[in-house]
Amino acid sequence: MPKFLFVLLLIPVATFAQTSTEPFKKANTIIISIQDQPEQAYKKIARILAIGGFGLANTDSDLGIITTDRKATKDLEIVLNVIVLDNGIRLTGKYAVAGLDGDTPIDFRSMKNSPARNAWNIMDKIAHDYNSTIQYTVN
């Protein structure tokens, strides 16, 4: 009986710690592997964000943090959050549907052409533009 209980207790932990090279339902964080020094990775991801049409609202190169301005598309507004660490870049975000109140965390959903999926696709494109290995996880 105690072994069975122990296994049951591990199930939520294993689900929470899921990481994959392919997006999965409810993944809300993209991790970009880096070979560059963190300072160079910070500059590169900031440049990718700017090229992608994002203004940089809050930046701190010493801490490796970037928060973008809201970027408006035809059906939503999106804000991305970037943290550059020694071994990778963590990318998360929030979106708001035009005309509705409140921000929703970006996560992977399977319904194509929905605002949620469109927000995910924008965030995922930024990650792919870095041109490195990508992993998806739940934060």
Q: Which letter, b or e, does each residue of 93-102 get, where b requires 16 or more Cβ atoms within 10 Å of its Cβ? A: bbbbbeeeee
Per DSSP, the three-state class of 15 is helix
- 66 Rama class: left (phi>0) / alpha (psi -120 to 50) / beta: beta
Pair 105, 42: CB distance under 8 Å: no
* Mean pLDDT on 116-136: 97
Q: What are the residue ranges spanned by the domains of the chain? A: 18-137
Give the H/E segment covering residue 29.
strand 29-33
pTM: 0.85
CATH of region 18-137, choose from 1.10.1740.10, 3.40.50.720, 3.30.530.50, 3.40.1360.10 = 3.30.530.50
Extended strands (E) in 43-132: 56-60, 65-68, 71-72, 76-84, 88-97, 104-105
pLDDT tens readout for residues 61-114:
999 999 999 999 988 999 999 999 999 999 999 999 977 878 999 999 878 889
